[in-house]
Amino acid sequence: MADVSKLKRRTLGAPPPPTEASTNLAQPEVVQEPPPPAPLHLVAEASGYHRRDGRSMRRSNRVVQFATRVTPEFDERIRSIAEREELLIVEVLERALDAYEKLASAQTAAS
């Protein structure tokens, strides 16, 4: 068992008298509104990169998560294609994989 008898007992002491207490509770409350954030389209234009919100797209009933890290340029290209074709990002990737496999099998058959 730990020996706690050697620990120092610390007390806070007596509280300060009310005359020394802060008077901030008697002051009126003033709410300072933060400056409005820059519009997103201006931020995107300044950086040259615009990430689209995929939550607004339809559900796909896919249940296995596939996470990877990509460059901002790749992300922009995939999302642009998905938006233009009105597809989910996963559907663009599935079509790209199908095209790759078709090309690979054609090259194997030609050899």
Confidence at residue 64, expressed as pLDDT on a 0 to 100 scale? 83
Q: What confidence score (pLDDT) does residue 2 get?
A: 76
In-domain check, residue 51: no
**pLDDT tens, 16-64?**
898 888 888 888 888 888 878 766 666 556 666 666 666 655 566 777 8
Looking at residue 59, its pLDDT comes to 60
14 is a domain residue: no
Asked, for residue 88, whether it belongs to a domain, the answer is: yes
Predicted local distance difference test score (pLDDT) of residue 101: 96
The per-residue DSSP string of 47-64 comes to HT-----GGGSPP----S
Mean pLDDT of 73-102: 94
What pLDDT is attached to residue 55?
Answer: 61
Q: What percent of the chain has pLDDT over 70?
A: 78
| 49: in domain | no
- CA dist list (Å): 33 to 24, 38, 70, 97: 20, 15, 37, 50
- The contacts of residue 75 (CB under 8 Å, 6+ apart) are 51
In terms of residue numbers, what domain contains 103? Answer: 70-111
Which whole number is the average pLDDT over 63-78?
A: 91
Count of domains forming the chain = 1
